[in-house]
A = this chain, B = another copy of it.
């Protein structure tokens, strides 16, 4: 069966926008007007408004040789939702802007939007605007997420206090290992026509890289337990980098215990296979989109009730800095070695 390939120029910018955005109903009461005017219009009378934005560039943030467009759309949306959850809020609206080079067809963009639509459906978010233009090289996606939280509930990076517990959700390093695996199979497949990549037993790693989820469940469970984290952020650049952000913003230090860092079995196997240090991968891997947050000591029992949340250490006075305590009791200063998109290799 031949794939249909409609050149974007045949329907034009407005035709493309109409086609891509027609199946996005407005569900949230805060969404008053979506796509189709100079601005989207929203109403947030009882809550504060949260805005986060991300720019994704082909060849820097994603490689379409192994990332399906639907997954890319899903991930582009979800990682922005994650930024809103990381403030202890809920995403409500999203705008998506695209710059598209000539090698992409209308059907390609429909694929991308099917992923965005799925993410919006699952997380209850409305697509309310965007911009569509051409690019001379590759695909560029700019996403802005808008969300809300009651005034007293917002968790900044700056509120961590001495003796607070440091918590993370889920497990770390799997998305990074998924990327290593995809890159390895890409190299192995070069020039081969019917290449079948070897992902057996490593499906979790692939999923964490290609289809990450944002931790709405954790935000909901924190609310159920009546906990507002003293500080919070999502782990996109790696645990080390994010811990340093919290320490800097909150003027504190921290102690994190190697044996408490949650790591999935598949991540460990893959690190072994690739001869990489597992803890380094978990601390610096990036793209986990898990939540890192701090709570007062007295919240310990309540935190234990929340599925998938692990206490990995505690906040200290600023004078003693940020360090990882290894299994054998050594103290290693934490340094940021995470993703830095300004220095691509």
Contacts and interface: CB of A to CB of B under 8 A. Distances in A.
B87 A41 contact: yes
A131 B57 CA distance: 12
B52 A129 contact: yes
Interface residues of A, number: 71
A84 B138 contact: no
A98 interface: yes
A9 interface: yes
Interface string A53-78: 11101011100000000000000000
A57 B233 contact: no
A51 B57 contact: no
Given A16-B342, A134-B60, A342-B13, A87 B51 contact: no
Contacts of A340: 12-13
B138 A140 contact: no
A55 B136 contact: no
Main secondary structure, interface of A, reads strand
A30 B249 CA distance: 22
A146 interface: yes
Given A8-B342, A60-B134, A142 B39 contact: no
Interface stretch (A42-50, A220-228, A253-261, A326-334): A42-50
B55 A142 contact: yes
A128 interface: yes
28 contacts: A16-B342, A38-B52, A39-B51, A39-B83, A39-B84, A39-B86, A40-B50, A41-B50, A42-B50, A44-B45, A44-B49, A45-B46, A51-B51, A54-B131, A55-B140, A57-B99, A57-B133, A57-B135, A59-B136, A60-B99, A61-B133, A100-B342, A132-B342, A134-B341, A134-B343, A136-B137, A136-B138, A137-B137
